[in-house]
Copies of this chain bind each other. A is one copy, B any other.
Amino acid sequence: MADPRFFVRSGPFALGALAERVGARLAEGVDPARMVVDVAPLDRAGPGDISFVDNPKYLEALATTKAGAVILSERHAARAPLGSARMLSAAPYLAYARIAQAFYPAPRPEPGISAGAHVDPSARLGEGAAVAAGAVIERGVEIGPRCVIGAGATLAPEVRLGADCRIGAGVHLAYCLIGDRVTIHQGTCVGQDGFGFAPDPKGHVKVPQLGRVLIGDDCEIGANVTIDRGAGPDTEIGAGSWIDNLVQIGHNVRLGRGCILIAQSGIAGSTVLGDFAVVAAQAGLTGHLRIGAGAQIAGQAGVMRDVPPGAKMGGSPAVPIRDWHRQTLALEKLAKGRQEEDP
């Protein structure tokens, strides 16, 4: 179970209620009143725990689990041991995620402004919002109901947050308008000047950055991320996008809905990503590109051209991922051939 110093567990819950909550159903014969007290992975779960299996490579672990209940798809149902109550779902991991959220809801600090916070009198806080010690809320800021502002976070003048946002410790927000239910983790910086200047040997001259950052509802943004504000147009993060740690987003970038950007990837200025595009770790996209909806960019790829919707790209410079694998194999064979020639 999770360390109780850090995590407060809710429950127990009846299987029937959980199934209803997540849109799953119990297999025949399972008592909907049967209680579970915690979530756990298959190999560590006990009779009071609910677990799940989604990836077939865990079917072996399923066979020997001691979990009191298991969420799984119909086609795997027969593989569960007799002692485990089966909860059937077309998307077991999704159902598990929601059940884990029921057991471990995000902690909610006492509403109100901590004694050590610095809040400008012109700022407006929604009902139930909480501001931790050391946070700085500047002139004209608007914070929606039930938002949580972490220790040492700073909100520059006129920043807007919707409802139920969670702003981590040491997050720095400026020139931005943020939707509802947005989570931003520790140390992330939003809204600083984009990297815009007119190069000149007598001294590069800054071009004022006159846009904002717009972040849609339900986004999750990691730690020590940087999102520059637009140069004139805005930088936009589409609703439901997930951004991992240490990602760089340049000015005027536009992400569609549900995009996924994995750690240390970077998107240069004015590039546009369609809905549900995925950029894997340490990949880089140059500026002014159009990346189609659902495109997938492999880790460490270097994308320098537009990418059609749904395409998978890899390598640096990036090519369709099959071509990249072919290149990798061809180079391996070439090098081996040479090795035989010149030992």
Contacts and interface: CB of A to CB of B under 8 A. Distances in A.
A203 B224 CA distance: 23
A312 interface: no
B338 A207 contact: no
A36 B222 CA distance: 42
Interface stretch (A11-19, A61-69, A73-81, A245-253): A245-253
A274 interface: no
A179 interface: no
A279 interface: no
A331 interface: yes
B41 A198 contact: no
B185 A189 contact: yes
A103 B152 CA distance: 33
Contacts of A93: 198, 207
Given A195-B263, A334-B330, A339-B326, A169 B168 contact: no
* Interface size range of chain A in the complex: 35 or more
Dominant SS among interface residues on chain A: loop
A120 B302 CA distance: 47
Interface in A240-294: 240, 242, 244-246, 248, 250, 258, 260, 262-264, 266, 268, 276, 281-282, 284, 286
How many copies of this kind of chain does the complex include?
A: 3
A2 B211 contact: yes
Contacts of A189: 168, 170, 185-187, 223-224, 245
Contact of A210 (B2, B201, B334, B338): B2
B133 A152 contact: no
A192 B222 contact: yes
A6 B141 CA distance: 11
A290 B97 CA distance: 27
Contacts of A286: 281, 299
11 contacts: A97-B208, A103-B208, A133-B136, A192-B222, A197-B242, A204-B240, A226-B245, A264-B264, A300-B300, A317-B328, A330-B334
